[in-house]
């Protein structure tokens, strides 16, 4: 049974796919095969020419394990269809090549790989791109008037967890004949569904919350079928489809997405509130805090505030590094969205390739630590942060500050 859209997300996450094997397995079997056989050329042509949906060749995405995963992915975002990719970057690259040839505008901070692709690599192919910082967003109307076919943004953004108004930017993009694509990786469809707010395409690094266990690399695009049909040949010939084994692992993970996100949301709120009270913390960036600049927008646009938060410490980048190294439950590792908590210092990881001046323009301080709050007990996580902040307090060091 494919769960219709009227079911809540938790139900869709479990009943989103209609795939059952001949024995009635409720789980997606792994069709670990590259090709599929037919009884006649006529039947093969029916599938190739789209008269009948069937399995054909795995690189084309025409594999039942992928079909089952994509049905669930589409159901989660309330989309007609979904495409599964070998990574989040593979999804973004295919999206940009397929739908951004007439110009792409990226609004606000995005993942470093996305910024490199848009700022450096796609222009080498003659694709016009513009990267607008958050403080330049009022220029979007003018920039779009110059012509662009795609607007791309992340909300909440990395690492300052700032929000963009999806409905307002979708309306502006559409007035100029452009599409809006939203990287929904940080929020997950449990907390935010951009298509319901007017966006045209949703992109995910499924490596993060959708996978949820730091054990798979995958990406996804969700949207209207006609939009994704334009991307499909690019996935096919770039060869960037997701492997069936990983597709089955991701499908398994999606079944627990709703409960995992509820716990990520609740624990991040507890940690954010505790850090906001701490004397060594200058600022906490988390949309769930009532005094966060985007809290009002978060309340209307999001159903939960997510598991990501950033703390900015009083003191230097070196002091922040010492705190990160002193943590016992948070691993110092550059990813997010898994069951285990992670910490990164944006100036040494995600935003390392930006110049110090550019980081300053984007408000990314050296003393920031980005936390991915996992599924451990929230009080244990707070205690771990408190011990690391205490043990590394400047009065414990003889180094000059
Ligand atoms: N988008 C966001 C917000 C990310 O954090 C990342 C990776 O960290 C990506 C996209 C790229 O995803 P992947 O590593 O699966 O290619």
Q: In terms of residue numbers, what domain contains 29? A: 9-254
* 147: nearest Cα among 129, 169, 121, 168: 129
Is 401 inside any structural domain? no
Give per-10-residue mean pLDDT for the chain (401 aa).
74 80 82 96 95 96 96 96 98 98 95 93 98 94 96 96 97 98 98 98 98 98 98 98 98 97 98 98 98 97 98 96 98 96 92 85 93 98 98 72 44
Predicted pLDDT of residue 395 = 77
From the candidates 31, 111, 285, 305, give the one annotated as an active-site residue: 111
**Does 4 fall in a domain?**
no
* Residue 107: inside a domain: yes
**Mapping DSSP to helix (H, G, I), strand (E, B) and coil, where does residue 281 land?**
strand
Do residues 367 and 246 share a domain? Answer: no
Query: What does the pLDDT read at residue 400?
Result: 47
- Is the residue at 1 inside a domain? no
Residue 355 lies in a domain: yes
Whether the Cβ atoms of residue 86 and residue 243 lie closer than 8 Å to each other: yes
pLDDT at residue number 19: 60
* Alpha-helical segments (H) within 20-165: 41-48, 64-77, 88-99, 112-116, 122-124, 140-145
Is 99 in contact with 234 (CB distance < 8 Å)? no
241 and 269 within one domain = no
Using the CB atoms, write b or e for 53-80: b if 16+ within 10 Å.
ebbbbbbbbbbbbbbbbbbbbbbbbbbe
| Same domain, residue pair 240 and 302 | no
Strands of the 331-332 sheet, one edge to the other: 281-285, 308-313, 368-372, 342-344, 331-332
Q: Catalytic site residue 362? A: no
**183 catalytically annotated:** yes
Ligand 1 lining (C-beta closer than 6 Å): 87-89, 111, 113-114, 154, 158, 183, 185-186, 205, 207, 217, 219
Q: Render pLDDT for 198-242 as a digit per residue (tens, 0 to 9).
A: 999 999 999 999 999 999 999 999 999 999 999 999 999 999 999
116 belongs to a structural domain: yes
**One domain, residues 204 and 108:** yes
Q: Which of 191, 222, 254 is the last residue before a domain boundary?
A: 254
Number of H helices, E strands in the chain: 16, 12
Which one from 46, 57, 59, 236 is the annotated catalytic residue?
Answer: 59
Residues 57 and 106 in one domain: yes
In this predicted structure, what is the pLDDT of residue 379?
A: 98
234 in a structural domain: yes
Q: Do residue 61 and residue 145 come from a single domain?
A: yes
User: What local confidence, expressed as pLDDT, does residue 6 receive?
Assistant: 77
Return the SS3 of 284: strand
- CATH number for the domain harbouring residue 113: 3.40.640.10
Classify residue 94 as exposed, middle or buried by CB count within 10 Å of its CB (0-12, 13-18, 19+).
buried
- Do 148 and 159 sit in the same domain of this protein? yes
Note if 31 is an active site residue: no
DSSP class of residue 17? -
Task: Confirm if 108 and 224 have CB atoms less than 8 A apart.
Answer: no
Give the count of domains, the chain: 2
* Other CB atoms within 10 A of residue 215 CB: 12
Residues 250 and 285 in one domain: no
Q: Is residue 275 part of a domain?
A: yes
Same domain, 85 and 138: yes
Is-catalytic flag, 111?
yes
In the reported structure, the alpha carbon of residue 261 is separated from the centroid of ligand 1 by a whole-number distance in angstroms of: 18
Domain boundary among 254, 285, 307: 254
Provide the CATH number for the domain around residue 332.
3.90.1150.10
How many CA atoms does the CB half-sphere of 292 hold within 13 Å?
Answer: 26
pTM of the model: 0.95
Looking at the fold, whether 110 and 229 belong to one and the same domain comes out as: yes
- Asked if residue 231 and residue 88 are part of one domain, the reply reads yes
**Is 55 found in the same domain as 44?**
yes
Q: Which of 310, 294, 68 is nearest to 192 (CA)?
A: 294
Strand partners, 179: 150
Q: Which of 108, 111, 351 maximizes ligand 1 atoms within 8 Å of its Cβ, making it the mutation to test the pocket?
A: 111
Q: Which of 196, 226, 254 is the last residue of a domain?
A: 254
């Amino acid at each position: 049974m494919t769960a219709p859209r009227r079911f809540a997300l938790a139900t869709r996450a479990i009943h989103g796919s209609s795939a059952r094997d001949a024995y009635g397995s409720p789980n997606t079997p792994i069709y670990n095969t590259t090709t599929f056989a037919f009884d006649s050329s006529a039947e093969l042509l029916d599938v190739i020419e789209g008269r009948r949906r069937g399995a054909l060749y795995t690189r084309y995405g025409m594999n039942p394990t992928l079909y089952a995963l994509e049905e669930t992915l589409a159901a989660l975002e309330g989309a007609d269809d979904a495409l599964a990719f070998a990574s989040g970057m593979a999804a973004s690259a295919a999206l940009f090549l397929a739908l951004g040839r007439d110009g792409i505008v990226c609004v606000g901070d995005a993942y470093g790989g996305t910024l490199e692709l848009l700022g450096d690599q796609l222009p080498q192919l003659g694709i016009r791109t513009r990267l607008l910082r958050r403080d330049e967003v009022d220029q979007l109307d003018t920039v779009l008037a110059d012509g662009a076919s795609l607007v791309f943004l992340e909300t909440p953004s990395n690492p300052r967890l700032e929000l963009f108004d999806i409905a307002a930017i979708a309306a502006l993009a559409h007035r100029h004949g452009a599409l809006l694509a939203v990287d929904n990786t940080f929020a997950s469809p449990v907390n935010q569904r951009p298509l319901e707010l007017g966006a045209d395409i949703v992109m995910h690094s499924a490596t993060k919350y959708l996978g949820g266990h730091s054990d798979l690399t995958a990406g996804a695009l969700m949207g209207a079928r006609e939009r994704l049909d334009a991307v499909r040949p690019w996935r096919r010939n770039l060869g960037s489809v997701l492997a069936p084994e990983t597709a089955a692992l991701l499908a398994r993970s999606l079944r627990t997405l709703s409960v995992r996100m509820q716990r990520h949301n609740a624990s991040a709120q507890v940690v954010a509130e505790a850090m906001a009270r701490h004397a060594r913390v200058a600022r906490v960036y988390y949309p769930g805090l009532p005094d966060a600049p985007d809290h009002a927008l978060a309340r209307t646009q999001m159903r939960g505030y997510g598991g990501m938060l950033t703390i900015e410490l009083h003191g230097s980048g070196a002091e922040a590094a010492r705190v990160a190294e002193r943590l016992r439950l948070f691993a110092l590792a550059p990813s997010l969205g898994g069951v285990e908590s992670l910490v990164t210092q944006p100036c040494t990881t995600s935003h390392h390739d930006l110049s110090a001046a550019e980081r300053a323009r984007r408000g990314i301080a050296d003393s920031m630590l980005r936390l991915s709050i996992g599924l451990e007990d929230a009080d244990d996580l707070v205690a771990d942060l408190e011990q690391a902040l205490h043990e590394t307090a400047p009065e414990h060091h003889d180094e000059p500050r």
